[in-house]
Structure 1
């Protein structure tokens, strides 16, 4: 275990030296490549304008999302109606998806309780 810890320390040291040496060049290159996304006047008003643009753009996309949602619901309804035609792979994927959703719910509950199983902190 100690050798594994030492290897991890050495690798993190090498990585930090690499970042210290090449990080600023990468940062400058990244900014140069994405210059068109940088606001020319970084003022509070410009940030508020961009925030409103994002909000109303997302708001305008709701009708399309609503239609897609109901198309998905209709697809699921048709699959349930014709469940005798389902392949075992489709049933397996559905069970895996349901299991994953349940697991995320349980993990969310545990996180919400402060990473305790019972809810009581010791």
Structure 2
């Protein structure tokens, strides 16, 4: 009995939500397009979309050398710090340690989420 009541209540809430969305969605859509019309290219056709996607792809491809250069600068900085480890301050070491711990925590969280929120381990 309680299950059928909850099901009817859920259906009622779903109906209300769909009515609210159907009432306000067209207005929101028009408002969104109006606010961002400077981003829209005329005519909005499939050919225009294909052109934009190719421009995005090749622009990203052209940015790779700049990204590689920035990566090499960062690696040079890390090498310099590694060579001069005796000049490190405790603040720098603590920030690096906290960053490493944060990366490890995100890795563990990703592993747990990837397993469907199950905890597994070795039994002793």
Give the TM-score normalised by structure 1: 0.68
SS at match of 1:116: coil
Please, which of 45, 57, 60 is the counterpart of residue 58 of structure 1? 60
What value does the CA root-mean-square deviation take over the aligned residues?
A: 2.6
1:74-100 deviation digits (Å, cap 9, x = unpaired): 101111111111111111111111111
- 1:96 maps to 98
SS at match of 1:79: helix
What is the rounded CA distance, in whole Å, between the counterparts of 1:95 and 1:84 in structure 2? 16
What is the rounded CA distance, in whole Å, between the counterparts of 1:83 and 1:39 in structure 2? 54
After superposition, residues 62-73 of structure 1 pair within 5 angstroms as 62-73=64-75
- 1:110 maps to 112
After superposition, residues 1-122 of structure 1 pair within 5 angstroms as 24=27, 28=31, 31-118=33-120
What is the rounded CA distance, in whole Å, between the counterparts of 1:115 and 1:75 in structure 2? 38
Give the TM-score normalised by structure 2: 0.67
1:42-101 deviation digits (Å, cap 9, x = unpaired): 222222221111111111000000010011011011111111111111111111111111
Stretches of structure 1 that go unaligned for 5 or more consecutive residues are: 1-16
Stretches of structure 2 that go unaligned for 5 or more consecutive residues are: 1-19
